[in-house]
């Protein structure tokens, strides 16, 4: 197994992958971040031979660099991915792949011209419960999957300054500029991975419940706690998913309903599964209801258990490196990636229009690319920009005073 010469761009998230890279016979030869303290930390962790850059173009020009991991801000991956692909450098990109529809078109065109591998770094499909559900679904005992649900629910304590500082270190951070539908891949990705179905039409509704003003972030963010998104798929099945949700208790959950039965992970203990069949149609040798713990059944089990995101981070690196070594398309290729991003973007437009449906483009088709190649609408630009689209289901822009107060309240006190 040959070593992959790897570079990481963005070290807040990227630093969490050092061990996964090494466990998959990769070598981090270069790192890039505008924060020089993070570069110094990388040198201490990786050794003095790692090259450190603050300029991305210089980073890409590092001698022998084969592949890069884009771990920069959520909405800023596409331009950097295209630069790397144009130099035939393999790209692993954090989510989402593209923040506008036009970026999705440009990314697909660049990937098709490049000799390099492109992969979206979606890790939730590789969690143990989703892998087990894929095994059961592909085994065929549930019959055709007609309906599936995916939920990514990650609430924060709105009175905890340390938690706010960890996830949203300043008021205009991307998390507070990001519509709820945009952070969709942790819920949608597993459903597409397990079933192979691809969304072709999407609609969405907001879950609107503003935080009280006495919370740390109540005065600097809009009132949407989630978005409920429904997808009609190319095989006539239907998905229901959330984007980033903040309600109820923390959980990551998937459910698959077929003609003969269903399987889901148990909320609150998501590595345990509940498999059920109808009494009149259960397969021979199966119980009507079985609750059990998923098992890895993977030769790299001990390494997987050391990885973040319930082992998903290990699989992400392994799949990317194997695609490079085998010169093949990865599971989560540029079409998979831009489909998820298109659902995210168009679901938000549906939400703003109280559920008007949108057709999801297939960027394999030039006619679909032409339709969106100049569509630069974005919630991440300034509200007075000509291509701005509202971030929340009800228009909201925080005052300068509220922003200053938020940053005062989360400031670390000595």
Q: According to the model, what pLDDT value does residue 268 have? A: 85
Same domain, 111 and 140: no
What average pLDDT score do residues 331-357 get? 98
Structural contact between residues 310 and 265, judged by C-beta atoms closer than 8 angstroms: no
Same domain, 239 and 91: no
Q: According to the model, what pLDDT value does residue 271 have? A: 86
Q: What percent of the chain lies above the pLDDT cut of 90?
A: 88
Q: According to the model, what pLDDT value does residue 213 have? A: 86
Model's pTM, two decimal places? Answer: 0.96
Domain ranges, residue 102: 4-120
Q: Tell me the pLDDT tens digit for each residue of 124-134.
A: 999 999 999 99
Same domain, 132 and 265: yes
Distance CA 202, CA 348 (A): 10
Q: According to the model, what pLDDT value does residue 401 have? A: 94
pLDDT band of residue 310 (cuts 50, 70, 90) is confident
> Which of 104, 120, 136 is a domain's end point?
120
Q: According to the model, what pLDDT value does residue 309 have? A: 75
C-alpha separations of 77 from 27, 97, 401, 405 in Å = 22, 6, 31, 30
Between 98-107, 141-150, 243-252, 253-262, the lowest mean confidence (pLDDT) is in 243-252
Same domain, 80 and 113: yes
Q: According to the model, what pLDDT value does residue 413 have? A: 56
Q: According to the model, what pLDDT value does residue 142 have? A: 97
Beta bridge partners of 93: 70, 120
Same domain, 97 and 155: no
Q: According to the model, what pLDDT value does residue 131 have? A: 97
Q: According to the model, what pLDDT value does residue 371 have? A: 98
Whether 270 has a pLDDT exceeding 80, the answer reads no
Whether 21 has a pLDDT exceeding 80, the answer reads yes
Same domain, 161 and 264: yes
Same domain, 90 and 133: no
C-alpha separations of 322 from 2, 90, 95, 148, 265 in Å = 10, 12, 20, 29, 29
Same domain, 74 and 164: no
Mean pLDDT of the chain: 95
Q: According to the model, what pLDDT value does residue 414 have? A: 41
Distance CA 180, CA 392 (A): 8
Q: Is residue 254 part of a domain?
A: yes
Q: According to the model, what pLDDT value does residue 411 have? A: 86
CATH number at residue 93: 3.40.50.720
Distance CA 208, CA 344 (A): 18
Q: According to the model, what pLDDT value does residue 317 have? A: 96
Q: According to the model, what pLDDT value does residue 48 have? A: 78
Number of compact structural domains in the chain: 2
Same domain, 203 and 349: yes
Whether 308 has a pLDDT exceeding 90, the answer reads no
Q: Tell me the pLDDT tens digit for each residue of 33-51.
A: 999 999 999 999 998 789 9
Greatest distance between any 2 Cα atoms in the chain: 66
Same domain, 115 and 214: no
Same domain, 88 and 114: yes
- Side-chain-side CA neighbours of 72 within 13 Å: the count stands at 23
Q: Is residue 230 part of a domain?
A: yes
Structural contact between residues 340 and 184, judged by C-beta atoms closer than 8 angstroms: yes
Which residue in this structure is represented by tokens 């059990």? 292
Q: Tell me the pLDDT tens digit for each residue of 380-413.
A: 999 999 999 999 999 999 999 999 999 999 887 5
Q: According to the model, what pLDDT value does residue 370 have? A: 98
Dihedrals phi, psi of 39, to nearest 5 degrees: -65, -40
Structural contact between residues 383 and 377, judged by C-beta atoms closer than 8 angstroms: no
Q: Is residue 22 part of a domain?
A: yes
Q: Is residue 61 part of a domain?
A: yes
Structural contact between residues 171 and 407, judged by C-beta atoms closer than 8 angstroms: yes
């Amino acid at each position: 197994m040959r070593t992959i010469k790897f570079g990481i761009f963005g070290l807040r998230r990227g630093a969490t992958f050092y061990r996964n890279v090494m466990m998959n016979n990769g070598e981090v030869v270069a790192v890039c971040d505008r924060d020089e303290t993070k570069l110094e930390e990388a040198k201490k962790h990786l050794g003095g031979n790692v090259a450190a850059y603050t300029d991305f173009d210089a980073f890409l020009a590092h001698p022998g660099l084969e592949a890069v991991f884009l771990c920069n801000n959520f909405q800023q991956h596409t331009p950097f991915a295209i630069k790397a692909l144009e130099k035939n450098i393999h790209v692993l990109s954090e989510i989402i792949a593209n923040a506008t529809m036009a970026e999705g078109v440009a990314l697909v065109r660049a990937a098709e011209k490049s000799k390099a591998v492109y992969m979206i770094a979606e890790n939730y499909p590789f969690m143990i419960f989703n892998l087990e559900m894929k095994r059961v679904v592909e085994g065929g005992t549930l019959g055709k999957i007609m309906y599936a649900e995916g939920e990514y629910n990650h609430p924060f304590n709105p009175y905890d300054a340390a938690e706010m500082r960890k996830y949203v270190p300043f008021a205009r951070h991307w998390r507070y500029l990001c519509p709820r539908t945009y952070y969709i891949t942790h819920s949608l990705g597993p459903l597409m991975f397990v079933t192979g179905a691809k969304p072709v039409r999407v609609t969405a509704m907001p879950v609107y419940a503003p935080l009280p003003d006495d919370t740390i972030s109540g005065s600097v963010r809009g009132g949407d706690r989630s978005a409920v998104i429904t997808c009609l798929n190319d095989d006539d099945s239907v998905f229901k998913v959330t984007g980033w949700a903040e309600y109820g208790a923390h959980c990551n959950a998937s459910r698959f309903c077929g003609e003969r039965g269903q399987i889901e992970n148990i909320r609150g203990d998501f590595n345990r599964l509940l498999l059920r069949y109808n009494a009149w149609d259960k397969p021979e040798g199966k119980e009507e209801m079985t609750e059990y713990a998923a098992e890895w059944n993977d030769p790299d089990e001990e390494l997987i258990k050391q990885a973040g995101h319930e082992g998903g981070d290990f699989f992400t690196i392994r799949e990317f490196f194997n695609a490079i070594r085998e010169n093949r398309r990865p599971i989560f290729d540029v079409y998979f990636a831009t489909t998820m991003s298109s659902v995210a973007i168009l679901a938000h437009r549906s939400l703003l229009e109280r559920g008007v449906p949108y057709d999801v483009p297939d960027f394999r088709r030039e006619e679909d690319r032409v339709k969106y190649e100049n569509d630069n609408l974005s919630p991440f630009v300034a509200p007075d920009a000509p291509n701005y689209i509202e971030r929340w289901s009800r228009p909201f822009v925080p005052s300068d005073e509220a922003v200053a107060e938020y940053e005062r309240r989360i400031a670390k006190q000595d």
